[in-house]
Amino acid sequence: MAALIIAHRGDSAHRPENTMASFVSALEIGADILELDVQLTKDGQLAVIHDATVDRTTNGSGAIRDMTLADLRELSAGYPTLFGSAFADERVPLLGEVLGFLKGRGRALIEIKKESTSDDAESGIEALTIAAVRKAGMAGDVALISFETRALERCRALASEIMRGHLFHRVTADQLIAGARAAQSDLVMPEKGMLSDDLVARAQAEKLKVATWVIDDPEELIALSRYDLFAVASNRPGVLLDATLETE
């Protein structure tokens, strides 16, 4: 079975990442799953944006934790350094808006960023994200993912019914298994440079689904087929989907 294709921040090679334009495009080209990131604003809103600041992908500057939703809405999220003014009307979406769009159309991986995880277990970013997922009626169509084991442990305690995925970068196979066990994750997502026969075999022996990131080259996707991966994340999901169809 071919790996599922995850649209990493949407169709992010062709549209500004983590915007509605990127998510719409990803679904139009047939991506299996959308991946997106959430950060917490000053007034407790779940902004869909990767970085802790707006500097890279908008026409503004500053830390998201110091901005209200109204502050964010004044900015263009059109990623001007990559796309010029072509998507100047795009705004940083809220998680609820993205989930409302996705309902009945697709599935999502929601990454809870380490920098937004706090000591507030009851009303922090994990609880707010879970509330948004439940409100949208999407509990069966999303997975909550993070590099932060603590965040995933909270997700398990607050919403055991929602799938969890543990992201990893440059750790040992022992550390990967330990992190997955601590969070009782269903899915592990080691960075592609970590993949090895031993690591994948040990994860699969634990009954874990294994996915990886970021794969943009069809030849690389073919090379990774030996691992029987559950999914791969790509900035160019359309390219990988075309390659998958050609090899079927």
Tens digits of per-residue pLDDT, 146-156?
999 999 999 99
pLDDT at 205: 97
Active site residue 14: no
> How high does pLDDT run on average in the chain?
96
pLDDT at 115 over 90: no
Helix (H, G, I), strand (E, B) or coil at 47: strand
Query: CA-to-CA distance for 213 and 167, rounded, in angstroms?
Result: 10
Q: CB–CB of 25/13 below 8 Å? A: no
pLDDT at 62 over 70: yes
pLDDT at 184: 96
Instruction: Provide mean pLDDT across the span 102-120.
Output: 93
R_g (Cα) of the chain, nearest Å? 17
| Structural domain spans, the chain | 4-38+108-247
pLDDT at 2: 86
Q: Domain spanning 4-38+108-247 has what CATH number?
A: 3.20.20.190
Query: CA-to-CA distance for 20 and 201, rounded, in angstroms?
Result: 37
Tens digits of per-residue pLDDT, 164-191?
999 999 999 999 999 999 999 999 999 9
Instruction: Provide mean pLDDT across the span 6-28.
Output: 98
Catalytic annotation, pick one of 8, 14, 166, 169: 8
pLDDT at 12: 98
pTM of this prediction exceeds 0.85: yes
Query: CA-to-CA distance for 231 and 121, rounded, in angstroms?
Result: 30
Inter-CA distances, 145 with 15, 28, 90, Å: 23, 24, 25
Selection from 192, 234, 200 nearest residue 217 by Cα: 234
pLDDT at 247: 61
Q: CB–CB of 87/79 below 8 Å? A: yes
Active site residue 166: no
